[in-house]
Amino acid sequence: MDVYTTSFTYPRRSRHIHSPSSSLDFPGPAELRSNGNDSYPNLQPQLNNSGLSSDESSAENAEQISKLAMMAMSLHGCHISFFPADQGRSWNFHVTGAYQQVMITRGMILKECPIQHRAAIKVTRSEILDSPSSKPALKPDVRRRLDDIASQTMAHIAVVNSPLSLSNRTPPDGISSSAGWSGLETERICELVVTGPGDSVDLARVRLLVMLDELSGLHSEMCEIDQKLHTIIAGRKRSALQSIQEETATNIYLPSPLQGLVGPDILASASSTRVSRVNGVIWITGEFFGVQRARDMLYQLSVNKGKSIISRDTAILPRKLDWMVTDRPDDLKTIMNDNATFIQFPPLGSSTSLITVFGDHRVNIQRTIRSIMQLACHHYVGSFWLLPVQFNALLPPATLNASQVAALIKQISLNTGAEVVFKSMCFELHGLEHEVRAAVSMIMELDLIKTFHHEIRFQIELANEHREFISGKKNGKINKIMQTTNIKIKFETFNDHNFLIDISGSDTSVLQGLSLLQEELPAEISFHVPEAYHKRIIGVGGRSIQRIMKKYGVYVKFSNAEEFAALGGYNDNDDNVVARTPAKNALNLDNLKQSVMELDKDFVYETVSIPRRYHRTLLGEKAIFIHDIETKTNSQVRFPDKETASDVVTIFGPESQVQIAAAMLLDHVPFEADMAVPRNSEIPRVCASGEFQSLVERAKRELQVSIVPNVNISTYGATSSDTPADYSFKFRCQRSNSDFLITAREMLEQFLLNHNIRVYPSPTSHTHKRGDSFAEAFPHFDSKLLSTAKTHHVTESADFGRPVHDHDRRLRLANSSPDVKALFNAPAYIYNLEETDDTSSTYGRTPGGSQDYWSALPPIGSGIASRARQSDEAIKRGSDSLLEAKLKEQISKPRSLGNRAQSLDLTYSLSRITESSGLPPDSPTDSIGDTGTGGNSSPTSVTAPSFPSVYGSRSTVIGSQRTLDLDEEANDEVVRVMHNLGL
């Protein structure tokens, strides 16, 4: 019986160490707690044995792995040895025995190995902690719930501090995310860190999210639907699921589509009497009736989709399937979500090479298979055959003993990260390209191997559509590589979608040939261009795009609507343009994309961070605004999957519009900030008073800011501490209205001070005075919202630089002011003119007394510069600094504004009427006119306006023909002005 020996490292070094899906080296909860500003010594009972040091954790893992190895050896009759690898982050396993038993044992190790995964959920401290500011303690109800979730999912849950802010958005001015308990600051957060094997983390994360929804007052229910239908009923990119959440204002949490493949089987008690699998459980949270509607819609959709499900099988090498499931689970989930399909994988470690893809549309299934095949191309297979130096039938062939082989493959696997198999004088190497290449190089350098002839082979998998691309015209590329490096290259058909490239040689030239072939492998980029621009970019007869392709050596393919519908998209569902070039020319892909794109034809992705707790409201109540933003900016707003606990919302649209869409979206997101105050026994009484309620209503009415006191904080743990716990007040408003948060804080501070309640000093000032930042910009406004404090500046005016009690300041009537409209509409900068002269003189008529200073303007274009001369003289005579500032402003004021303001001064017009006659006209004895009164009287004109007397008790009719004839123009002006004033 041939001995089959394999050595592999798990988890593989190629995985991202700090990603949520791999966390052997994540800092323990105790280590995380020490990184924050606060520590939680009283949370130790809740850690559920996850707060171990790294040495203790490694020892515990070693014990568990030892038990697993003993069980596998007793069940399958193989020999297993293991030891730490990659500085304790992973383990190297060495399995020897018969082929079938070794493969079963390998699969058992991959599935049951206690590899710790990690996930973190950010949550505000006030949700789960009592007294979150000084003496944190888990709320009893939260502690009980966490214990239940940990026991049901076999995961460890820890509550740890985090130095990270709630979101990566910059808070408004005056609000800090980490400045301590003074002024306003964003909410302090902690993290629920979940660690455990395989599926335990995914299950526990969903249950924790449901728990947080329940704590916030939402109703939750679960429904069981066949696991194969979850991604199908969700729709492409979960569009159908998002529509259900939008219509019902609910959160829907789907389990992982890879549930049950990695990690021990998890059984959860759905009731006290029965135990059921949790792979098909969907959780729904929201308002009660919304949850019922969402559940009914999911059931109805699953029944409809179940009738139209189709499937297709395809073959992939078993080790590539194992690599996908253990190393690329996120990629597999993305493929299934993007195409609304479900991929059924065989058990880990089995020799089965078939996968089954389920879906409700042929295009979606085809695109899923293409994506899986494209992912499989990253995994290489190499073989190193040992051949005798000379053949002699009388002598037994040279072989390697078992001890030599064991030491060799352990060393190679440990150093390169590849899986190394030895059977029948052949080393098989499985892994990524750089791992397989490094393993072959290492084998070639061994002295033991140099006593043998050898043949090296590499096997590369590639999509069928790239076959001609690799070959070149008349196989020119392949022939050139074979002639240059003296190796053999041949193509073999593998399945309907991929083919295999075999490279073989006897020395290091095979590595050189592999490098040359890799330079010819296709590198591609895909993007979205609206179809309306395709013809314009391609040009007449394709001239424009051919010129660009020749310039950069890149092939570009534009897909029209029919091709795009049949294809389902390239790398992304929305991509309808693909560009390919040999890998050696990959740098030109971006250059070509920039050349093809014009204006905003390029659609891009923009991400914006919105706290998770607002997503349900945005999808539900704010859905109409979201659709309005999408329509106006030609963009799509995509919310993250609920079970990922992500805050990142993605916007897909034109490059010039996505930033606008993000800003519009943030306008509908509430912004919250906290203000802490020292503990005071009077605070609960004051907050319950009607006066405080009036303050809250006033802030909501005038500032659109909601103030909610957080005074029901438990005193648990506070009595034993010398530092008293703090009360806090939560301020909530729309982010676009966050400028008023500072004003609302000042109102609350003043209210508390008036009731002899001490507050912490503001970070911007050391006294509790209303800020005067607005007074500098708008000093003449007297508003409840804007401060009226007077400040001194280097260039302040003579009037506003005086103290308020200055008795020299004089106010004039409107008819003596030079410009009434300009006085009320004047910009702030008119008061900042430098004043060097403050002489006293009379203001009124000119010495001649013939007319007021503000005479009519000269005709436009007449060249008369009387305004400037009169302005200078007025400044010399002026005694009122406010008026002087106004006079100076007139120098640069537009002529049209001066004309408009001139019409409000009636003095000049009335004086022209009276001065023409010298004396007041005689009043008629009868208002209806009497021909016998004398020659001075005349009949009243029906067109002449009648005014009360301006000369005392005498009544007069300013309507004589003589007056109208003398100055008809002045009379018309008076009529017009009085009409405009509404008199």
Give the pLDDT confidence score for residue 964 in this predicted structure. 42
User: Does the pLDDT value for residue 229 go beyond 60?
Assistant: yes
Give the pLDDT confidence score for residue 742 in this predicted structure. 86
User: Does the pLDDT value for residue 144 go beyond 90?
Assistant: yes
Instruction: Output Rg (C-alpha) for the chain, integer angstroms.
Output: 42
Rounded Cα gap, residues 245 and 290, in angstroms: 9
Q: Which of 916, 919, 895 is nearest to 962 (CA)?
A: 916
Give the pLDDT confidence score for residue 624 in this predicted structure. 92
User: Does the pLDDT value for residue 884 go beyond 90?
Assistant: no
Q: What is the DSSP string of 61-89?
A: HHHHHHHHHHHHHHHH--EEEEEEETTTT
Give the pLDDT confidence score for residue 402 in this predicted structure. 72
Give the pLDDT confidence score for residue 912 in this predicted structure. 52
Averaged pLDDT, 833-852: 40
H/E stretch holding 499 reads strand 498-505
Task: Report the amino acid identity of residue 165.
Answer: S
Give the pLDDT confidence score for residue 13 in this predicted structure. 63
pLDDT tens digits, 750-774: 999 998 888 876 554 444 444 444 4
H/E stretch holding 561 reads helix 561-567
pLDDT tens digits, 700-726: 999 989 998 876 543 333 333 334 456
Q: Which of 121-135, 842-856, 874-888 has the lowest mean pLDDT?
A: 842-856
Averaged pLDDT, 127-136: 68
Given a contact cutoff of 8 angstroms between Cβ atoms, the answer to whether 636 and 630 are in contact is: yes
pLDDT tens digits, 37-52: 333 333 433 333 334 4
Rounded Cα gap, residues 54 and 634, in angstroms: 51
Averaged pLDDT, 81-93: 87
Residue 120 tokens, joined: 């973190």
Rounded Cα gap, residues 599 and 174, in angstroms: 38
pLDDT tens digits, 845-869: 434 443 433 444 444 444 444 444 4
User: Does the pLDDT value for residue 963 go beyond 70?
Assistant: no
Rounded Cα gap, residues 667 and 631, in angstroms: 16
User: Does the pLDDT value for residue 70 go beyond 70?
Assistant: yes
- Pairing label, strands 281-286, 419-423: unpaired
Backbone angles phi, psi at 174, to 5 degrees: 85, -5
Residue 572 tokens, joined: 């992304």
Give the pLDDT confidence score for residue 696 in this predicted structure. 93
The dihedral region occupied by 486, where left means phi > 0, alpha psi between -120 and 50, and beta the remainder, is left
Q: How far is CA 520 from the centre of its chain?
A: 38
Give the pLDDT confidence score for residue 349 in this predicted structure. 84
- Please state, for a pLDDT cut of 90, what percent of the chain lies above it: 35
Q: Higher pLDDT residue, 217 or 135? A: 217
Residue 229 tokens, joined: 């239908």
Reported as a pLDDT band with limits 50, 70 and 90, residue 30 is very low
Tokens 């490279």 map to which residue?
503
Reported as a pLDDT band with limits 50, 70 and 90, residue 969 is low
Q: What domains lie within the chain, and their CATH numbers?
A: 1-198 (no CATH), 379-517 (3.30.310.210), 529-596 (3.30.1370), 603-666 (3.30.1370.10), 670-771 (3.30.70), 782-905 (no CATH), 923-980 (no CATH)
Give the pLDDT confidence score for residue 981 in this predicted structure. 65
Rounded Cα gap, residues 90 and 9, in angstroms: 7
User: Does the pLDDT value for residue 886 go beyond 60?
Assistant: no
Given a contact cutoff of 8 angstroms between Cβ atoms, the answer to whether 533 and 597 are in contact is: no
Reported as a pLDDT band with limits 50, 70 and 90, residue 162 is low
Given a contact cutoff of 8 angstroms between Cβ atoms, the answer to whether 906 and 983 are in contact is: no
List the beta bridge partners of residue 423. Answer: 426
Reported as a pLDDT band with limits 50, 70 and 90, residue 839 is very low
Reported as a pLDDT band with limits 50, 70 and 90, residue 268 is very low
The residues near 769 (Cβ < 8 Å, ≥ 6 apart) are none
H/E stretch holding 735 reads none
Query: What mean pLDDT, rounded, does the chain reach?
Result: 74
- pTM of the full structure: 0.70
pLDDT tens digits, 916-939: 444 444 444 444 444 444 444 444
Given a contact cutoff of 8 angstroms between Cβ atoms, the answer to whether 174 and 764 are in contact is: yes
User: Does the pLDDT value for residue 656 go beyond 90?
Assistant: no
User: Does the pLDDT value for residue 269 go beyond 80?
Assistant: no
Reported as a pLDDT band with limits 50, 70 and 90, residue 971 is low
Averaged pLDDT, 174-203: 73
CA 434-440-444 angle, 5° bins = 145
Q: Which of 67-76, 293-302, 873-882 has the lowest mean pLDDT?
A: 873-882
Task: Please tell me the total number of residues recorded for the chain in this structure.
Answer: 983
Measured CA to CA in angstroms, residue 850 lies from 600, 761, 864 at distances of 67, 63, 20
